[in-house]
Structure 1
């Protein structure tokens, strides 16, 4: 091979090596970057950490906010009983964590997206046309009611988590009949997620399942705070009951920001992350809920769909998130190299993702991106 060809090739390889070396990854703890300050940070904190009367439980209440930029910790604040070492209940952020655990299993060749759910979870045999990708899009077609404390009598999820379904949550979900064609209708469902969690057991086997979230995801990322509750049947409550410190949850965000790669290891296949970030094809936005994010593969997207407003117009379109009850959030903004964790106790519906992200971008980047 002529030297004239080798020189540009060597230069390109050297550039790639230098870029890889320039990346910052957390070791036992996050490396700290330059902490921003000034009026924009004050405006952000005024929204995220306002003075309020907790006795009334009204208004915005952040328990923790952690901001990672370029792999470095640049902002951290806690309130109430939450501290840096506190594993906080993530509520439905757990759903996206389960998606990442499943992504590792997918990369190991343990399942395909179009596989029947019943192949891995025989209790779902009554619904032979439901595939794993239907569950991952919350599109099982099950007649499920995802109402919370404000409508407990008709709520499927309240019954699953707290009353007649809590002993075996996946089996409780499987008992629901279909009222739509699988894969054609989006209906947010914690039942879909817990069926996925039960299916994971069938994919990896009983012995491996007991530790699989740790061996597959948490340990490779250096996460040591994770707690994940199971129901009485031993199935991880993938819908709701994982706990992590804010710093540890940010590690999952960095993994997703960098396309499923952790250091030199491609922990999640690139096509799995692309699936997570692709809008569900049959999703139809509700015009009465303009701030609702777009469902992807068990993550939430700031995607601009035809005929609908962008959910968070002051954030980049490539932003996506794991979201949970009462304001839990893991925001990932790849174009800004930003990961933001927010733990909260918002109960009156006043918190707005767009307002939080708008102020965060002003505080933690050089300019707000439209």
Structure 2
């Protein structure tokens, strides 16, 4: 009994020592600014806006143990700017779904058609398949490089833009559900449509705020909907860097926000569990449950070798990133306008990790 009491008191003391943004992020008391010079030099190199070449960072925010240790912006972006997150939206959608699951509104094994009737044409597709980007539906996720053949361009900008989930549900099958990873913004928008049935149409419009943003103190969020009223869960969430870091802190602390367990711990475990039915691409993270992991696929190597294996991230088009590094209690938010392949996740993380340790590699 005495041991249990001691452990309880120790746990209570540890929780009381945690730092939270109340209401905003506190600054670390001591910062070795010289240690961050290499981060600054890489992330904010002289900017080529005419040709849109090179590393073009708009915002970089680093939080360690709940305190700001580095923050810099390139005009016109500022600490107050709700920046387009692109596909970071997908991971925030997964976090929102985690709250819905905590409310016992669905199970991972449920067929998607239970919540989104147009998916009755694909009755074997489960919610967990969508969360692994493994619906099996035929999809081409390409923007600039193959726009005429791009499913995502058609969904976001042309014939699918009025009802993005319906456009996706009408795609033909290309593989058995759950058997092949095929990155698809359409899968994410079907999830966003299914959420409407889970929570009810009356609550759906306000649900991201009531369930997630307001409890976390997020005030800058703007989330676009298509003409059918469905959240564009794949792409069109805007948020300031400081607010996005709150999502990172929630995930870093296993779904707990102060004393409230907003997400079940096993949901965060699911997000951070490698989906092995994928093909590794050099430098790119590997899929978890609608988050990206620094874990190697079988027979492969760690995508970001200079970052701990437990690092995970939400990633978006043109260089958007929310990295979470549990080993170092770090959260890194990067907003950007990269238009070529010069930016490397591993290089930024290597420099951030060196800087936060005082410049030691």
Please, what TM-score do these two structures have when normalized by structure 1? 0.95
Any idea what the Cα deviations from partners look like across 1:53-78, whole Å, max 9, x if unmatched? 21110000110011111011121100
Deviation at 1:306, TM superposition (A): 2.9
Of residues 112, 116, 119 in structure 2, which corresponds to 1:121?
Answer: 116
Partner of 1:27: helix, strand, or coil?
Answer: coil
Please, what TM-score do these two structures have when normalized by structure 2? 0.98
Of residues 278, 286, 294 in structure 2, which corresponds to 1:294?
Answer: 286
Deviation at 1:364, TM superposition (A): 1.3
Check the 8 A contact 2:28/2:67 in 1, yes or no.
yes
1:330 pairs with 2:325: no
1:259 pairs with 2:251: no
Q: State the distance in 2 between where 1:229 and 1:74 align.
A: 32
1:321 pairs with 2:313: yes
Q: State the distance in 1 between where 2:131 and 2:29 align.
A: 38
1:93 pairs with 2:85: no
- Once structures 1 and 2 are overlaid, which stretch shifts more, 30-39 or 120-129? 30-39
1:91-170 pair list within 5 angstroms:
91-170=86-165
Q: State the distance in 2 between where 1:226 and 1:326 align.
A: 20
Of residues 219, 236, 239 in structure 2, which corresponds to 1:244?
Answer: 239
Partner of 2:121: helix, strand, or coil?
Answer: coil
Check the 8 A contact 1:32/1:72 in 2, yes or no.
yes
Of residues 44, 60, 80 in structure 2, which corresponds to 1:65?
Answer: 60
What residue number does 1:359 align with? 351
How many residues of Structure 1 are paired with residues of Structure 2 in the alignment?
Answer: 361
TM-aligned CA distance change 1:269 to 1:367, over 3 Å:
farther
Deviation at 1:80, TM superposition (A): 2.2
What residue number does 1:346 align with? 338
Q: State the distance in 1 between where 2:85 and 2:360 align.
A: 28
Q: Unpaired segments of 5 or more residues in structure 2?
A: none
What residue number does 1:270 align with? 265
Q: Unpaired segments of 5 or more residues in structure 1?
A: none
What residue number does 2:70 align with? 75
Deviation at 1:11, TM superposition (A): 2.8
What residue number does 1:232 align with? 227
Deviation at 1:114, TM superposition (A): 0.7
Runs of 4+ in 1 over 6 A off after TM superposition: none
Q: State the distance in 2 between where 1:107 and 1:147 align.
A: 34
Q: State the distance in 1 between where 2:354 and 2:98 align.
A: 33
Check the 8 A contact 1:304/1:311 in 2, yes or no.
yes
Any idea what the Cα deviations from partners look like across 1:78-122, whole Å, max 9, x if unmatched? 002100110000000000000000000011000000100000000
Partner of 1:342: helix, strand, or coil?
Answer: strand
Of residues 178, 181, 188 in structure 2, which corresponds to 1:193?
Answer: 188
- Once structures 1 and 2 are overlaid, which stretch shifts more, 193-202 or 16-25? 16-25
Q: State the distance in 1 between where 2:144 and 2:360 align.
A: 37
